[in-house]
A = this chain, B = another copy of it.
């Protein structure tokens, strides 16, 4: 805490230096061991999206008729916070499938998520609800949402354990309350998932934020790669367990990788598009309990295939002069992480790895 605190204040004027000291005193007054967050500005904004205009003329006496009316949708929503004396590059955080900005907020067991952790480390944060999700819910395409029970699928797929047992030594938050908070944090698509719509939305957000670091999770990985292709403002990507939609240059797409869950294919982009991914530093993190060899269980085998594809992708980008690092956490001695390393019980340790990467690449 003290360290990140000093980081925030030392570059500022003498009076701001005084601020740090006073804040430490205040935290004692507040009876918590955490200093308060000192937020220079916060709010929300909406970017990108499309528009439907119904032919005809709007009749204010028949307001339920769509004629001549408009419908804005497919935009992205973000809640942002700017700490005092922020670091130059803000961090945009893009959630995964069935998730929302909540992914980066309070963890299921009530600890601080990456939103607070990186604010405390002096970064401005933008927490995204992607197009057709959460508070960015208006979709230009119709959809039906059915409450089909699926939580045991996710429990296994997210490598929390093998339902109902949590993996031994798992870093996923324990207990009934945490599990319920986690299940209730799932929120549906309000329109069909469309990787182009999502990456267009995030690119539009980057037009408003300027150069930034992009954190992605799981399904967000694919739109993350496309966003870096579409927007020069992506200066680095930190991808947690990207699940699919790895993009390769035409002619270099590897053979599909079959698994007990699905058959995973790479996506082809032009050599020119692919170049964008060789211009920025990228780090990818995968957690624990991913089998090294094919297994029968779909939830397990899917990640064996995804990690394998991620390694092929890393090698391809680096062969083209890129800078992709893949960190399989157990290989560096960090055990028990689920599909959500950024909110697992050791998420401060994971944040330290991210901070180290950002420092190495002079992104902080």
**CB <8 Å contact, B52 and A149:** yes
Per-residue interface assignment for chain A, residues 145 to 161, with 1 indicating a CB less than 8 Å from any chain B CB and 0 otherwise? 11111111100110000
What is the bound-complex CA distance between A299 and B63, given in angstroms? 8
Given contacts A61-B297, A184-B46, whether A84 and B26 have CB atoms under 8 Å apart is: yes
Contact partners of A350 in chain B: CB under 8 A: none
| A209 → chain B closest CB, angstroms | 14
Q: Does A271 contact B (CB under 8 A)?
A: no
Q: How large is the interface on A (under 10, 10 to 19, 20 to 34, 35 or more residues)?
A: 35 or more
Q: Does A106 contact B (CB under 8 A)?
A: yes
Number of this chain's copies in the complex: 2
Q: Does A135 contact B (CB under 8 A)?
A: yes
Question: Which one of A32-40, A217-225, A243-251 contacts B?
Answer: A32-40
- Residue with the greatest number of chain B CB neighbours at <10 A, chosen from A26, A106, A139: A26
**CB <8 Å contact, B148 and A66:** yes
**CB <8 Å contact, B44 and A298:** no
What is the bound-complex CA distance between A264 and B163, given in angstroms? 50
Question: Which one of A185-193, A232-240, A273-281, A322-330 contacts B?
Answer: A185-193
Q: Does A23 contact B (CB under 8 A)?
A: yes
| A105 → chain B closest CB, angstroms | 4
Q: Does A94 contact B (CB under 8 A)?
A: no
What is the bound-complex CA distance between A32 and B84, given in angstroms? 11
**CB <8 Å contact, B298 and A181:** no
Q: Does A1 contact B (CB under 8 A)?
A: no
A residues with CB within 8 A of B:
12-13, 15-16, 18-19, 21-23, 25-26, 28-30, 32, 34, 36-46, 49, 52-54, 58, 60-61, 63-64, 66, 68-73, 75, 77, 79, 84-85, 100-102, 105-106, 110, 112-113, 115-116, 129, 133-153, 156-157, 162-163, 180-181, 183-188, 190-191, 296-299
**CB <8 Å contact, A150 and B66:** yes
Q: Which of B15, B30, B181 contacts A25 (CB 8 A)?
A: B15
| A59 → chain B closest CB, angstroms | 9
Q: Which of B49, B71, B135, B188 contacts A187 (CB 8 A)?
A: B135
Contact partners of A102 in chain B: CB under 8 A: 44, 77, 135
**CB <8 Å contact, B15 and A19:** no
